Amino acid sequence: MNIVLASASPRRRELLSMLGVKDFQIIPALGEETAEPGLSPEALVCALSLAKAQEVASKCSETALVLAADTIVVLDGQIMGKPANKKDALRMLSALSGRAHTVFTGVTVMRNGETRTEFEQTQVRFRTMTEREIVAYIDTGEPMDKAGAYGAQGIGALFVEGIEGDFFNVMGLPLCRLSKMLEKLGVNLI
């Protein structure tokens, strides 16, 4: 089966490989990540993952299984995407310090004209961080391409006190949900 990952995310690529999916193409969606203003976090990640999947599916055969995802961090109703620069990363991490937030990921799978879009949400609780720790973490470069400016699977794990829900959702691809969605399309990963 031809599987196409509509993402340049090394984490999503790593997670698919971890599941034993060996032969998949990577065709990142190139369109602007924009959606209607005022959408709930759930609706936003679903709309963005669907737009990515549709863009990439238009370049593939109908029999290809296209997988797209979009992840955001939400704190006090404010959406945090990827930081624009180090100052933005400092703002985000300072706001997350000592607090709980929610990670939302929208997932879309398309195959043979059938489309499924769902979302997952996970609560993450950070310990209180010093400004020195935040600056040192930003200087590693790890936060710069991640929603909320941290990677729970990397150095950012030092700040995570607890997770309630799917850990892999925090990495950008909720594997349990993905597996159920694929089963509905007749694709079993095991």
* H helices, E strands: number in the chain: 6, 7
Domain ranges of the chain: 3-184
Residue 160 confidence (pLDDT): 98
**Residue 119: which residues within 8 A CB-CB, separation 6 or more?**
42, 45, 46, 104, 105, 106, 107
Average pLDDT score over residue span 75-87: 94
DSSP H or E run through 26: strand 24-26
Q: Higher confidence at residue 50 or residue 32? A: 50
From CA 106, how far away is CA 174, in angstroms rounded?
A: 9
Which segment of 2-16, 25-39, 73-87 scores lowest on mean pLDDT?
A: 25-39
Sign of the alpha-carbon torsion through 119, 40, 146, 68 = positive
- Whole-prediction pTM value? 0.93
Identify whether the C-beta of residue 89 lies closer than 8 Å to the C-beta of residue 104. no
- Residue 31: pLDDT band by 50, 70, 90 thresholds? confident
Q: Higher confidence at residue 188 or residue 32? A: 188
Find how far residue 67's CA is from the centre of its chain.
Answer: 12
- Residue 36: pLDDT band by 50, 70, 90 thresholds? confident
Task: Single out the residue of 15, 8, 43, 13 nearest to residue 168, CA to CA.
Answer: 15
From CA 100, how far away is CA 136, in angstroms rounded?
A: 22
Q: Is 76 known to be catalytic? A: no
Residue 35 confidence (pLDDT): 67
Identify whether the C-beta of residue 127 lies closer than 8 Å to the C-beta of residue 65. no
Residue 23 confidence (pLDDT): 84
Tell me which of 23, 70, 88, 166 is the catalytic residue.
70
Over the stretch 142-172, which tens digit does the pLDDT of each residue have? 999 999 999 999 999 999 999 999 999 999 9
CATH 3.40.50.300 fits 3-184, yes or no: no
From CA 64, how far away is CA 85, in angstroms rounded?
A: 36
- Residue 20: pLDDT band by 50, 70, 90 thresholds? confident
